[in-house]
């Protein structure tokens, strides 16, 4: 087994402290996200008092290999590596890990999805973060492909922001993994968004940790991490990806919009084979009562293989069952610069994980699929 190239389909920035103070619409600036300093720990708040977490968890890449006991959920921004927010330093850090391209997601901005701030403020926060992301990735457009955040509380707003960010070079649009009760992705209101993404050939991505508040949802980073249920919630987050993809699947979204590509990012892979087989089984069992029948005797697994992609980092079970998921639907991500990232030992980790996988499959999962979907050279 050899690894020719690496493209990370799941990497991040850690937003600088002045991002929203400098870029937010003036009418919202007094409510904009800002960093507060407390005994050597930097925390983010929005709307003057709503917590959106510390800088610690996303800023400690590499330390898991050097000093695991020193890992902390809370830290100061001064401890964040420059590569988390400076594009030149980022490319140098990628070179150190043997990574030639990255799909880049926000960190702090994503957490705001889980807060109770009003929808207009959320949209304003997203616009500022999207503008900064476009500048960050625009410094090295062949190496860094940025994602934009969409507020799906208002579909018209989401479509307008998708089109605006497309003009700024966005390579994908990020929507909540669960949009909240009463706003699920099986509703006709969402068709305008699916049509816009399909027409623009822009992948739609649902990233872990992005769930609108509601029953069963725990803001596992934005809120008190010591709250009961946080660990079990984090260990079962693939439920929300399955729920949203299932809503789209059984409402016929992928049949109506065959060019739409939807990704579930940073949920690992192991859930996907079971989910694919379960969707097919229920579709067959309920053929006389289910609300939808696909044309040409197609099955949910057919649409999954054509329209859905998933990412992995260190999932042994997911690699073992990769042929059920579909090798062409799988992409690797390093999650740099987050604490659990494989940086700077990504090739070593992948060498052990993929040691028995044929070279052509390794190539597709570690760079080919990401290059095709996100538009790398």
pLDDT (tens, 9 = 90+) of the chain, 377 residues, equals 789 999 999 999 999 999 999 999 999 999 999 999 988 889 999 999 998 888 777 788 777 888 777 777 788 898 899 999 999 999 999 999 999 999 999 999 999 999 999 999 999 999 999 999 999 999 999 999 999 999 999 999 999 999 999 999 999 999 999 999 999 999 999 999 999 999 999 999 999 999 998 888 887 665 555 667 888 888 899 999 999 999 999 999 999 999 999 999 999 999 999 999 999 999 988 776 667 889 999 999 999 999 999 999 999 999 999 999 999 999 999 999 998 999 999 999 999 999 999 999 999 999 999 999 999 98
DSSP secondary-structure letter at 308? E
| Residue 1 CB contacts under 8 Å (≥ 6 apart), including other chains | 351, 354, 355, 356, 357, 358, 359, 362
Helix, strand and coil content of the chain, in percent to the nearest 5, comes to 45, 15, 40
The confidence score (pLDDT) of residue 39 equals 86
pLDDT score, position 241: 97
Q: 138 — phi, psi (to 5°)?
A: -65, -20
Asked if residues 47 and 29 have their Cβ atoms less than 8 Å apart, the reply is no
Q: What is the pLDDT of residue 225?
A: 59
CB-based burial label for 93 (10 Å; 0-12, 13-18, 19+): buried
Alpha-carbon distances, residue 157 vs 132, 149, 220 (angstroms)? 19, 11, 27
d(CA 162, CA 171): 10
Alpha carbon distances (Å) from 216 to 168, 231, 232, 243: 36, 13, 11, 13
- The two tokens of residue 12 are 């991040």
Asked if 148 contacts 258 with a C-beta cutoff of 8 angstroms, the reply is: no
Tokens 């070279």 correspond to 359
Strands 34-38 and 41-46: antiparallel
290: tokens are 């289910």
Given CATH 3.50.50.60, say whether it is the number of domain 7-16+23-28+82-374: no
Q: How many CA atoms lie within 13 A of 212 on its CB side?
A: 20
Non-local (6+) Cβ contacts of 26 within 8 A are none
Token duo for residue 218: 């725990």
Distance CA 373, CA 1 (A): 24
CA atoms within 13 A on the CB side of 339: 15
Residue 61 confidence (pLDDT): 79
pLDDT at 226: 61
Local structure of 310: helix, strand or coil: strand
**Is the separation of the CB atoms in 142 and 377 below 8 Å?**
yes
CA distance 159 to 173: 10
Angle between helices 271-285 and 300-307 (to 10 degrees): 140
Other CB atoms closer than 10 Å to residue 185's CB: what's the count? 25
- The answer to whether 139 and 114 are in contact (CB under 8 A) is no
């Amino acid at each position: 087994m050899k690894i020719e190239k690496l493209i990370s389909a799941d990497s991040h920035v850690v937003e600088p402290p002045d991002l929203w103070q400098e870029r937010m619409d003036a009418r919202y600036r007094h409510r904009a996200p800002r960093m507060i300093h407390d005994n050597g720990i930097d925390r983010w708040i929005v709307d003057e008092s709503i917590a959106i977490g510390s800088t610690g968890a996303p800023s400690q890449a590499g330390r898991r290999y050097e000093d695991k006991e020193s890992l902390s959920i809370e830290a100061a921004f001064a401890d964040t590596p420059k590569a988390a927010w400076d594009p030149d330093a980022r490319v140098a850090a990628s070179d150190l890990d043997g990574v030639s391209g990255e799909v880049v997601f926000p960190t702090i901005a994503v957490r705001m999805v889980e807060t109770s701030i009003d929808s207009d403020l959320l949209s304003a926060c997203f616009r500022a973060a999207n503008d900064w992301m476009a500048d960050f990735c625009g410094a090295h457009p062949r190496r860094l492909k940025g994602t934009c955040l969409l507020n799906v509380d208002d579909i018209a707003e989401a479509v307008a922001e998708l089109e605006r960010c497309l003009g700024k070079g966005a390579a994908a649009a990020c929507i909540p993994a669960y949009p909240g009760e009463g706003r699920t992705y099986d509703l006709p209101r969402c068709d305008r968004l699916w049509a816009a993404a399909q027409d623009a050939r822009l992948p739609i991505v649902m990233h872990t940790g992005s769930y609108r508040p509601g029953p069963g949802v725990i803001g596992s980073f934005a809120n008190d991490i010591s709250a009961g249920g946080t660990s079990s919630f984090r260990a079962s987050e693939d439920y929300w990806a399955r729920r949203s993809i299932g809503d789209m699947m059984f409402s016929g979204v992928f049949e109506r919009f065959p060019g739409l590509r939807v990704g579930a990012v940073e949920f690992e892979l192991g859930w996907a084979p079971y989910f694919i087989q379960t969707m097919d089984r229920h579709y067959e069992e309920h053929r006389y009562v289910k609300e939808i029948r696909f044309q040409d005797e197609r099955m949910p697994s057919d649409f999954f293989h054509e329209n859905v992609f998933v990412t992995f980092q260190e999932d042994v079970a997911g690699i073992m069952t990769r042929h059920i998921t579909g090798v062409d639907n799988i992409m690797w991500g390093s999650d740099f610069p987050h604490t659990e990232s494989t940086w700077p030992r990504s090739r070593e980790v992948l060498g052990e994980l993929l040691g028995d996988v044929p070279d052509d499959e390794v190539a597709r999962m570690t760079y080919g699929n990401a290059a095709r979907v996100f538009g790398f050279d």
